[in-house]
Amino acid sequence: MNAGKPAIEIVMLPPLARHDAQGRHYTSAALLRQTVADCAMGARTTSRRSSMKERYAQCSCGDLSVICRGEPALVSLCHCRECQRRTGSTYGIAAFFPRPQLEISGEATAYRRQSDSGFDVALHFCPRCGSTVFWEAARKPGMIAVAVGAFADPEFPAPDKQVYTQHRHPWGAAPSEPSS
Ligand SMILES: [Zn+2]
Ligand SMILES: [Zn+2]
């Protein structure tokens, strides 16, 4: 019975314009295709891989870190209650990368739970400082979600979509539309 369960509301934001290192212009959909192409090329040639953009995410104390190569396939802002409790903030933001694009360093402890949609999620946090740095969602096999806050980088791509907006705090700390 799904009757008693709140429906998942997924709000697709308009595609965001992005530029790569050569100044080419991408929409989110084009970026996703490009990321897949980059990933396939990176597996074959080391020179292509070395030219991919690298970003660095880490926990509060720095013991647990992730190097992320290339652009995220999807950036999703989640207003669900679990993300609120996990972050201690009013929403969480996940940047999904294909697993081969990530290099994880340091010790992580996993906390497993079910998402509101019923799929398993394994959250990996630093056992020293407690920051959750990345997680695996059974709903997205082959992908790792990295906490966007762990990059502490204001240049990080903005969310492509927002989910669980029924739990959004109404005073609007998260943008309801992408900024221009
Ligand atoms: Zn730490
Ligand atoms: Zn959530």
For 91-114, how does the pLDDT look when each residue is reduced to its tens digit (9 = 90+)? 999 999 999 999 999 999 999 988
pLDDT band with cut points at 50, 70 and 90 for residue 177? low
Measured in Å, residue 69 CA sits from the centre of ligand 2 at 24
Please determine, for residue 52, whether its predicted confidence score (pLDDT) is greater than 90. Answer: no
Q: Which domains does the chain have, with CATH numbers?
A: 53-167 (3.90.1590.10)
Q: Which ligand is nearest to the CA of 84?
A: 2
CB 64 within 8 A of CB 72: no
Enter the tokens of residue 12. 């697709």
Cα 164 to ligand 2 centroid, rounded to whole Å: 7
- Note the pTM of the prediction, 2 decimals: 0.69
Pairwise CA distance, residues 81 & 90, whole Å: 8
Q: 56 CA distance to ligand 1 centroid (A)?
A: 14
pLDDT surpasses 80 at 40: no
Strand 74-78 vs strand 161-163: parallel, antiparallel, or unpaired?
A: parallel
